């Protein structure tokens, strides 16, 4: 409006999702139990063996339980742009989103778990809500004079999140008729018995920032950008300084503007650039800079049972932002009249201030650990993107793009002058029962993602050696073979047996257009990494006869003998995870002449997701937990939480990856 001096954009997104709320343990039971076992007894009751290997009839579990989860998301966003005078643009961005979820689950009196635990029927209900608000105000001014162009921007941003959840459970119901819709009928608290049947939680966080940016362009040949952002996060309330300062600068040189490049005809454009910048990540948890107390067990005081308060966290006023410092060198180019274009980037990314919990003496400290910004990690990588148009005409066009990237990382340090660790490593990840051990080691000076376990090199097939026949043969610390009876199975006998983070990623996208038809095919892959196949570890051991087993459990190991060793996490179950996926295929037809003035165009399309995978991995899908290497666009990791530090584990109960087909219609008015 007002001759384009004011522009307003407003958008609404509304989505509702309904999911069944069944206990995921049913899927495990369907996998592990004897598929030929009875479903019902002769009297019509469910066949159960609750005292034998915790057997639960999965058909019974499905029929004797009920559940539902409803999710709703509403998002409103709008932008207002005002250009009061030439060169000046005032903008505001406002956004509000609200996500909420309600869930309910119930088990009848005949459900396996209520029979085993004598609960006489069970139900729980819960709800969760998250609200996000965003406001960003900017003022931008641009001016050209001669060969010089200058653009400056200043702004303010505010983000807020409020999250609440609550849940309630009950059991011992007089009837199964109401499921989870009348949870007050349960009598779990009868006779004054105290239970943890109710819970609730609430958190609020906000983030404010002031920022500025300056761009300078001389004759489109020499380019410069500098920016500064100052932010404060509520998670750092109570520390010495909740603010972080994050500068960035980049320089560019367009070679094709230089006189010595004017006579060449190969390149249309070449730009060399270099940059350095710092970005910050605040702690995810609340109140980590101050001392906290929490409620513990009950004690008898003056004839009454009361909850006690105990220290749960030491104060650390020096807690601060995690900082990612990145140096980047890149080239942008275009060749053959724009038919070929691309970018090449090499980056060095160092992350300082990763969080870690350090053991401290107590007393004088009130709690045995203190969280501090001490961890350091380094990353280096190369990213390449090439675009090519092999054919282009009025009726037919084909464009293709190829991408390649690599990243190497290393944990540099876990100590400083104040906080030191008793060792230069820690373990993380978990196999689950019955093996119950860690899967990864994180060690100073080594990359993240290392699997750590026993290295198997053979199996004993000497029948005269009764103690070791059918048992693993390991590689000892000196590199020599060690028989099962001589192997100590201690921590010192473990070693790095693989890495769950790919060294290389690649992608290939093709887009075709023929008259009104269009076709796109997206492919991608990851290479040089390993996957821990937990399904094979759990279900490929013939000694574990109480569970349903894979057919391969009865194959001879190394073609020599059946396995007699108990289940354990070792290198035999670490597989190469290299894969290539035809990820998405979309075919569409465009109608530009609709025959009516009210509809400008119509597009009908069909697409498939997770279309095809090519891999030598023996499991279903090797694309598992390949996250948080500190590479790519990610900001780093929380060393303390362990999140993302155990990549490449294909969990035993992982539900198979789904192939999805979508039919869609786009209408433009």
* Residue boundaries of the structural domains of the chain: 8-586+604-651
| pLDDT class of 374 with cuts at 50, 70, 90 | confident
Q: Are 120 and 173 in contact (CB under 8 A)?
A: yes
Chain length of the chain? 669
**Model confidence at 643: pLDDT above 60:** no
User: Per the structure block, which two tokens stand in for 40?
Assistant: 């019902």
Identify the burial level of 348 via C-beta atoms within 10 angstroms of its C-beta, where 0-12 means exposed, 13-18 middle and 19 or more buried: middle
Q: 415 vs 418, 478, 479, 638, 662, CA distance in Å?
A: 8, 30, 32, 15, 51
Q: Which of 574, 536, 532, 567 is nearest to 553 (CA)?
A: 536
**Model confidence at 397: pLDDT above 80:** yes
Could you please report the per-residue DSSP string of 333-362?
EEETTTTEEEEEEEEEEEEEEEEEEEE--T
DSSP structural state of residue 437 = -
Helix, strand, coil shares of the chain, percent, nearest 5, are 10, 55, 40
Residue that the structure tokens 């990549």 belong to: 647
| pLDDT class of 341 with cuts at 50, 70, 90 | very high
Q: Which of 569, 565, 544 is nearest to 648 (CA)?
A: 569
**Average pLDDT of the residues of the chain:** 91
Residue that the structure tokens 């997104």 belong to: 13
Higher pLDDT, 609 or 657: 609
Identify the burial level of 145 via C-beta atoms within 10 angstroms of its C-beta, where 0-12 means exposed, 13-18 middle and 19 or more buried: exposed
| pLDDT at residue 636, rounded to an integer | 35
Beta strand 579-591 with 122-145: parallel, antiparallel or unpaired? unpaired
| pLDDT at residue 195, rounded to an integer | 61
| pLDDT class of 626 with cuts at 50, 70, 90 | low
**What is the rounded distance in angstroms from the CA atom of residue 568 to the CA atom of residue 440?**
14
| pLDDT at residue 654, rounded to an integer | 84
pTM of the shown model:
0.88
| pLDDT at residue 281, rounded to an integer | 92
| pLDDT class of 628 with cuts at 50, 70, 90 | very low
**Model confidence at 637: pLDDT above 90:** no
| pLDDT class of 662 with cuts at 50, 70, 90 | very high
Residue that the structure tokens 């060095």 belong to: 348
| pLDDT at residue 192, rounded to an integer | 54
Identify the burial level of 228 via C-beta atoms within 10 angstroms of its C-beta, where 0-12 means exposed, 13-18 middle and 19 or more buried: middle
| pLDDT at residue 363, rounded to an integer | 87
Residue that the structure tokens 């990820």 belong to: 583
User: Mean pLDDT highest for which of 209-218, 355-364, 643-652?
Assistant: 209-218
**Model confidence at 513: pLDDT above 90:** yes
Q: 114 vs 106, 169, 255, CA distance in Å?
A: 10, 13, 75
| pLDDT class of 632 with cuts at 50, 70, 90 | very low
**CATH number of the 8-586+604-651 domain:** 2.40.170
Beta strands in 260-368 (DSSP E): 267-281, 292-301, 304-313, 322-335, 340-359
User: Per the structure block, which two tokens stand in for 346?
Assistant: 């090499």
**What is the rounded distance in angstroms from the CA atom of residue 21 to the CA atom of residue 101?**
12
| pLDDT at residue 208, rounded to an integer | 97
Comparing 42-51, 213-222, 452-461, which segment has the lowest mean pLDDT?
42-51
User: Per the structure block, which two tokens stand in for 337?
Assistant: 């009249």
**What is the rounded distance in angstroms from the CA atom of residue 156 to the CA atom of residue 210?**
5
**What is the rounded distance in angstroms from the CA atom of residue 548 to the CA atom of residue 543?**
11
Termini Cα distance of the chain: 20
Q: What average pLDDT does this structure show over 289-318?
A: 89
Q: 399 vs 158, 318, 370, CA distance in Å?
A: 41, 53, 55
**Model confidence at 633: pLDDT above 50:** no
| pLDDT at residue 194, rounded to an integer | 52
| pLDDT at residue 34, rounded to an integer | 83
**What is the rounded distance in angstroms from the CA atom of residue 61 to the CA atom of residue 20?**
14
Could you please report the per-residue DSSP string of 145-163?
ETTEEEEEEEEEEEEEEEE
| pLDDT at residue 656, rounded to an integer | 86
Q: What average pLDDT does this structure show over 205-232?
A: 96
**What is the rounded distance in angstroms from the CA atom of residue 207 to the CA atom of residue 235?**
9
| pLDDT at residue 634, rounded to an integer | 31
Q: 374 vs 32, 427, 594, 619, 638, CA distance in Å?
A: 44, 18, 63, 38, 11
| pLDDT class of 193 with cuts at 50, 70, 90 | low
Q: How many CB atoms lie within 10 A of CB 264?
A: 10
DSSP structural state of residue 12 = E
- Burial annotation 7-31 (CB, 10 A radius, 16+ → b, else e): eeeeeeeeeeeeeebbbeebeebbb
Q: What average pLDDT does this structure show over 537-550?
A: 89
């Amino acid at each position: 409006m007002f001759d384009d001096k004011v522009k307003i954009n407003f958008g609404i997104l509304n989505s509702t999702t309904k999911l069944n709320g069944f206990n995921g343990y049913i899927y495990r039971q369907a996998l592990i139990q004897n598929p030929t076992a009875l479903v019902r007894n002769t009297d019509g009751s469910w066949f159960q063996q609750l005292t034998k290997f915790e057997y639960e009839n999965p058909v019974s579990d499905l029929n004797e339980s009920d559940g539902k989860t409803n999710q709703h998301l509403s998002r409103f966003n709008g932008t207002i742009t005002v250009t009061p005078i030439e060169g000046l643009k005032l903008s505001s961005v406002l956004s509000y989103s609200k996500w909420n979820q309600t869930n309910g689950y119930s088990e009848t009196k005949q459900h396996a778990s209520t029979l085993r635990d004598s609960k006489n029927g069970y139900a729980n209900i819960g709800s969760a809500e998250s609200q996000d608000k965003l406001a960003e105000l900017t003022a931008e001014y641009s001016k050209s004079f001669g060969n010089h162009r200058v653009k400056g921007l200043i702004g303010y941003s505010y983000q807020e999140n409020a999250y609440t959840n609550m849940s309630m459970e009950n059991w011992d119901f007089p009837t199964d008729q109401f499921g989870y819709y009348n949870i007050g009928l349960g009598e779990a608290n009868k006779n004054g018995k105290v239970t943890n049947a109710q819970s609730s939680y609430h958190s609020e966080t906000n983030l404010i920032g002031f920022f500025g940016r300056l761009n300078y362009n001389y004759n489109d040949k020499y380019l410069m950008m500098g920016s500064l952002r100052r932010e404060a996060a509520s998670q750092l309330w109570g520390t010495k300084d909740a603010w972080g300062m994050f500068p960035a600068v980049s320089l560019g040189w367009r070679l094709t503007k230089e006189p010595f490049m004017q006579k060449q005809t190969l390149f249309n454009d070449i730009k060399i650039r270099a940059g350095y910048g710092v970005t910050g990540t605040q702690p995810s948890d609340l109140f980590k800079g101050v001392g906290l107390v929490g409620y513990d067990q009950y004690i008898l005081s003056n004839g009454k049972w009361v909850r006690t308060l105990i220290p749960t966290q030491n104060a650390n006023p020096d807690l601060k932002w995690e900082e990612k410092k990145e140096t980047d060198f890149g080239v942008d180019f275009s060749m053959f009249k724009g038919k070929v274009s691309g970018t090449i980037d090499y980056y060095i990314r160092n992350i300082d201030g990763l969080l870690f919990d350090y053991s401290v003496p107590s007393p004088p400290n009130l709690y045995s650990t203190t969280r501090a910004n001490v961890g350091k990690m380094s990353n280096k990588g190369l990213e390449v993107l090439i675009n090519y148009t092999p054919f282009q005409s009025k009726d037919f066009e084909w464009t293709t793009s190829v991408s390649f990237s690599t990243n190497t990382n290393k944990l540099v340090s876990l100590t400083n002058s104040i906080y030191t660790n008793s060792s230069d490593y820690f373990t993380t990840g978990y196999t689950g029962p019955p093996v119950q051990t860690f899967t990864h080691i994180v060690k100073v000076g080594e990359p993240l993602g290392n699997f750590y376990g026993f290295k198997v090199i053979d199996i004993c097939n000497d029948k005269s050696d009764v103690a070791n026949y059918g048992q693993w043969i390991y590689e000892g610390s000196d590199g020599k073979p060690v028989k099962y009876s001589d192997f100590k199975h201690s921590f010192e006998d473990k070693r790095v047996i693989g890495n769950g983070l790919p060294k290389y990623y690649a992608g290939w996208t093709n887009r075709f257009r023929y008259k009104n038809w269009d076709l796109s095919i997206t492919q991608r892959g990851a290479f040089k990494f390993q996957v821990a196949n937990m399904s094979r570890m759990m279900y490929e051991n013939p000694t574990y006869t109480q569970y349903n087993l894979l057919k391969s459990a009865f194959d001879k190991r190394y073609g020599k003998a059946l396995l007699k060793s108990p289940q354990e996490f070792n290198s035999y179950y670490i597989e190469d995870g290299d894969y290539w996926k035809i990820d998405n295929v979309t075919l569409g037809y465009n109608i530009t002449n609709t025959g009516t003035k009210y509809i400008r165009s119509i597009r009908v399309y069909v697409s498939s997701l997770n279309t095809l995978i090519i891999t030598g991995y023996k499991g279903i899908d090797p694309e598992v937990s390949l996250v948080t290497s500190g590479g790519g666009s990610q900001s780093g990791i929380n060393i303390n939480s362990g999140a993302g530090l155990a990549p490449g584990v294909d969990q035993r109960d992982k539900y198979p990856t789904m192939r999805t087909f979508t039919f869609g219609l786009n209408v433009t008015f």
